[in-house]
Amino acid sequence: MSEAKDDGGPAFPLERHLPDGNEAYYGMTLRDLFAGMALIGLNANKICDIWPEETLAEAAYKQADAMIKARGKS
């Protein structure tokens, strides 16, 4: 079983007040936002021409995880 990744929480939270008094947040996670930004950088470097799409996606999320980890240290 793999351990849960820290997703950084919601990047652009849409808060909903539920009838039971609780709150829920919807939207993309900070991890997804960081991965998308990393993927833009990977594609800008033309690395996408030689790496399979799955490898690019994994590299983008690996970079996102590193960014979230570094963010927690400050």
Residue 50 structure tokens: 């030689």
Residue 23 structure tokens: 């709150």
- Give the bridge partners for 25, in sequence order: 15
Amino acid of residue 57? A
Q: Model-level pTM?
A: 0.72
Amino acid of residue 19? P
Reply yes or no on whether the pLDDT at 2 is more than 60: no
Q: What is the pLDDT at residue 15? A: 73
5 against 40, higher pLDDT: 40
Average pLDDT of the chain is 84
Alpha-carbon Rg for the chain in angstroms: 15
Reply yes or no on whether the pLDDT at 1 is more than 70: no
